[in-house]
Structure 1
Amino acid sequence: MKDKLKNSLWMIAEKLIAVFGLIFVTSYVAKYVGPATFGIISISMLVFQFIQTIALMGSDVILLKRIAQNRRSGLRLMMATFLLVLVLYAVLALAGVAIMEQAWRPEAWIFIAAAAVACLFSALDLVNIYNEAMLNARLNVIANVIGLAISLTVRFFISWYALDPRYLALPIVLATLIPFVIKLTIFLRYDRQAPVPALRQMKKYSRYMVASGLSLIFSAIAVALYTRLNQVSVSYFLGVKEAGIFSVALTLSTAWVFLPSALLASFYPAFFAERNQQQAIVKAQKLHLLVIGVSALVILAIWLLSGWFIREFYGAEYLDAVAPTLLLSIGAMCAVLSSVMDRFIIKYNGYRYLVKKTFAVLLVCLISSLLLVPHFGLTGAAMSVVITEFLSFSLLNYFFAAQPVMHIHRIFFNPRKLWLLFTDIKTSDSKESLS
């Protein structure tokens, strides 16, 4: 338990620095370039983050599970995955650059290219997953904070000296390049103990990743589309300026997610290793309670402070982001809860079920977005996210027949058992099933 909490504190420290830096410096940049240019930057990152999600094929979850269970095998799978992600991302990114370059004006090309390169390094940063699985998050913290500090410093000076906004492409790339180089260098020098797999083994591991990843890829795409599809809808129905405002709402509403996510990341290895079905349910319930407790405090703070914060740090042009920010923060909580449920299903190899669930989620997201965005604008886009995320973590999981998924949520309708779970939250195991 002590190692898990220490690992979580390192991850929280890293994200806390990142959030404060990104919010304050990005707000300064957003003021400087205005909603239209900021919207172009946001949409460029949106497209290539989506491509990154496809290229990763859910490998983050697969690698975390494999490394936690068998370090040596996990290292070999990670090396094979690196080459697979590199090839897949390169093909998809080249297609994305070609399409976007034709659709947008020439001044936007440099942001498109910068976003493509930045997301490439982010996709290839598999060492980050290895460090989390080995409860060694402090290395991620050191590397990411160095990269973030340099990137934000460059952004600040570009805005401070009123340089050409196109120079902002440089810190976009530096934010992922520097951490990638630092983590990979440390890994190659100290941590890599398994030999590089032979070509035959590389093919074997690649086939395994593709077979497992194809089952997860639709789920990963769905998660990426929950908010991104609404950004695209906002851009299409309302315009690039509104897309920039919606991007601010997304940034503020999801900036705090690192708190529950960091805690969850440290507990996932033990969760995957748990062989007792009843104990796995109890641990999943504890993770839910953890997420809800942290989220409730943050959402209350957002409700009280978001209007003042946006006015002071982003400017009056972005005040339309206030209402969507509150709604999207609720959607963010549901998204974290959905990630817990997905991992519960993955623990019992429910990859095919996640594929079926994905089609339902995408349908809900698409229909709600098309209906709500044209009629309710930015608030409608936020409502679409909340509806999609809520169904994703609740109703759409209950049809998984292999394990009693619904039992995880039943406890929240039983005050006595909920209180027992709450009083037992400090222990790593429970002797009684509370399901």
Structure 2
Amino acid sequence: MTDLNNKNVIHSIFNSGWLIFDKVTRLILGILVNIYLARKMGAEYYGEISYAIAFVAFFDAINLLGLNQIVVRDLSQSKNNKKFILDVTISLRLISAILSILLSVTFAFVLGKNITAIAIVSCGLILSLGNVCDLFFQSEIKSKYTVIAKIIAYVFSSLFKVVVIWYGGEISLYLFAIPLEVTVISFILIYLLYSKYKLKFTIQLPRFQCDGYYISILKESLPLMISNLAVITFMRSGIMTVEYFLGSRSVGLYSVGANLAEMIFFIPGIIITSFSPILASLSKNNKERYFLLYQRLMFVFWWGSLASILIYGSLLYYLIPILYGDDFILSKDVFILHLLSFLPVCMGCCQTIWVINERKPQIILIQTIVGALLSLILNVYFVQSIGVIGAPIAILIAQVVQSFIVNYFFCKDLFLFTFRSLLWR
């Protein structure tokens, strides 16, 4: 036990504290702004905004290329090639951002959606290139710099949203807050990276001397990119299905409940972000300590997620009608059903550490493709059968299948390890 209490673990815990502070701040501001928006504009207006954001989220999954955790791992294990890795990453992201914007606008035009709104949100994809700096800070377990940037940007963005709502602005004007926020974050992160580490980006299109790394990182990240796209598919298929069968007002009711539930979905990601570098290092240098720390981390995920569902769910279920008004009373049922997905989400997120360090991204690919297909099928069935609440039920079933049942058939070792971690060792 004492062997695990080294400075790196303690550093990771403090790093998690910074990230939690960021998320709690954003959560509080987000709830206040969303309550004001929902009360001022109503469910239909809220639904149109939520749909535009969800639509672009599909293409953001392509834009990210599945590189994040791989880049953090490589930066953590590298001593002399950090700038080269960052240069390759931002170059790939630049290319993918341009392609993703073109794809999102093209699909919006073909499907007859609000092209202006979707184009505005899509601009955030290329303006967020500075977020590559965050991967470096993650590898150094220095996420406080990213927290500073995000809080400043989020406060600025929230004030912009309130002003737009106050003066009755159009949807397109409100959505400008999204590219505005990511632009502020990018500039601050780029400045901090240079001022603290004297590192700056150089765009490097593929050349003979670096093509090997381009190819290897893309080959490893491709299954993760497809996996991320599948994750977005089943997490956002609810909004898409509800909009298709029930309209914008129902999207607004669904989005309020789903967004409130997902406001604590950041917790596993924060913990993984902080512990991934140390676990990546241990997996290479000390397997025994790696598996012991990983098992205890998964134990925390099991019981922490159950406690979060009980406490957060009990509180918000009764507060939603009071905060949002009678127009959104159905949102409380969407909220509690969607919140139950937090358990499989936590476990799936923690399983990603094993998959990355064992270099078996095909497991995530199988998980998420099965989850996405099941979610789409169940959403179509349940939304038509029982209305808005059918969407979170479909997503919950898909999450359970993805995080647990798929592993039983395709990765028995991970399946057994997951359930053994219910007990502290």
Q: Same fold (TM over 0.5)?
A: yes
1:127 to 133, 137, 145: 133
- Find the counterpart in structure 1 of residue 46 from structure 2: 38
> 377, 391, 394: which is aligned to 1:367?
377
Alignment of 1:254-333 (within 5 A): 254-275=262-283, 276-333=286-343
Q: CA deviation at 1:157?
A: 1.9
Please, which runs of 5 or more residues in structure 1 have no aligned partner? 422-433
Equivalences for residues 130-169 of structure 1 within 5 A: 130-169=136-175
Matched-pair contact (CA < 8 Å) for 1:110–1:169: no
Q: Within 1, Cα distance between the matches of 2:105 and 2:191?
A: 29
Residues 57-77 of structure 1 show CA distances to partners (whole Å, capped at 9, x for unaligned) of 210111111111114334322
How many Å separate the matches in 1 of 2:99 and 2:382?
A: 34
Q: CA distance change for structure 1 residues 123 and 356 in 2, over 3 Å: closer, same or farther?
A: farther
Alignment of 1:330-369 (within 5 A): 330-369=340-379
Where 1:256 maps in the other structure, the secondary structure is coil
The count of aligned residue pairs is: 413
Equivalent residue in structure 2 for 1:59, among 50, 54, 67: 67
The Cα of 1:123 is off from its aligned counterpart by: 5.6
Residue 95 to residue 263, structure 1, CA distance change in 2 (3 Å) = closer
The answer to whether residue 409 in structure 2 is matched with residue 396 in structure 1 is: no
Aligned runs of 1:195-234 on 2, under 5 Å?
A: 196=202, 199-234=207-242
Percent identical: 21
- What does residue 425 of structure 1 align with? none
Contact between 2:18 and 2:147, CA under 8 Å: does it hold in 1?
Answer: yes
Contact 1:327 / 1:383 at 8 angstroms: preserved in 2?
A: yes
CA distance in 2, matches of 1:399, 1:245: 37
Q: Which residue of 2 aligns with 1:406?
A: 415
Aligned counterpart, 1:426: none
Distance 1:66 1:400 in 2: 27
Letter in 2 for 1:117: C
Match of 2:4 in 1: none
* Cα separation, partners in 2 of 1:189 and 1:164, compared to 1, 3 Å: same
Q: CA deviation at 1:353?
A: 3.2
Distance in 1, Cα, partners of 2:313 & 2:22: 25
Match of residue 93, structure 2, among 85, 97, 105: 85
Q: Residues 137, 195 of structure 1: CA spacing in aligned structure 2 closer, same or farther, 3 A cutoff?
A: closer
Contact 2:120/2:172, CA 8 A, preserved across alignment: no
Structure 1 residues 262 and 342: alpha-carbon distance in aligned structure 2, compared to 1, 3 A threshold: closer
Match for 2:418: what amino acid? H
1:15-35 deviation digits (Å, cap 9, x = unpaired): 111111111112211222222
- Structure 2 CA distance for partners of 1:222 and 1:164, relative to 1, 3 Å: closer
Compute the displacement of 1:115 (Å). Answer: 0.9
Deviation at 1:202, TM superposition (A): 4.2
What letter is aligned with 1:32? K
Query: Does structure 2 conserve the Cα–Cα contact (< 8 Å) formed by 1:50 and 1:221?
Result: yes
- 2:6 corresponding residue in structure 1: none
Q: Provide the residue aligned with 2:30 in structure 1.
A: 22
Tell me the equivalent position of 2:252.
Answer: 244
Work out the CA distance in 1 between the residues paired with 2:26 and 2:291. Answer: 33
**Equivalent residue for 1:424?**
none
Matching residue of 1:76: 84
Contact 2:347 2:403 in 1 (8 A): yes
Question: Which digits, 9 at most, give the CA deviation of each residue in 1:316-375, with x for residues without a partner?
Answer: 222111112112112123112101112212211112333333332233222222222211
The 2-side partners of 1:188 and 1:81 are apart by 17
2:188 aligned residue (182, 188, 196): 182
Residues 1:75 and 1:249: Cα distance change in structure 2 (over 3 Å): farther
Q: CA deviation at 1:294?
A: 2.8
Q: Aligned partners of 1:270, 1:235: CA distance in 2, in Å?
A: 43
Could you tell me whether the CA contact under 8 Å between 2:46 and 2:252 is conserved in 1? yes
Q: CA contact under 8 A between 1:133 and 1:269: conserved in structure 2?
A: yes
State the shift of 1:192 in Å.
4.6
SS of the equivalent of 1:200 reads: coil
SS where residue 359 of structure 2 aligns? coil
Q: After TM superposition, which residue ranges in structure 1, 4 or more long, deviate above 6 angstroms?
A: none
Shift of 1:13: 0.7
Per-residue Cα deviation, 1:110-154 (whole angstroms, up to 9, x for no partner): 321221112333365111121112111110111101100111011
Letter in 1 for 2:231: V
Contact 1:260 1:290 (8 Å CA) reproduced = no
Letter of the 1:37 counterpart: Y
Alignment of 1:97-112 (within 5 A): 97-101=105-109, 103-104=111-112, 108-112=114-118
Cα deviation, residue 213, structure 1: 1.6
The CA deviation string for residues 168-209 of structure 1, in whole angstroms up to 9 with x for no partner, is 133222221101111012213432559956943443332222
Deviates most, 364-373 or 278-287: 278-287
Distance 1:100 1:343 in 2: 35
Closer/same/farther in 2, CA of residues 165 and 219 from structure 1, 3 Å limit: closer
The residue type paired with residue 414 of structure 2 is: V
The CA RMSD measured in Å over matched residues stands at 2.3
Which consecutive unaligned segments of at least 5 residues does structure 2 have? 1-8
* Aligned residue type for 1:221: L
TM-score, normalised with respect to structure 2? 0.90
- The one-letter code matched in structure 2 to 1:346 is I
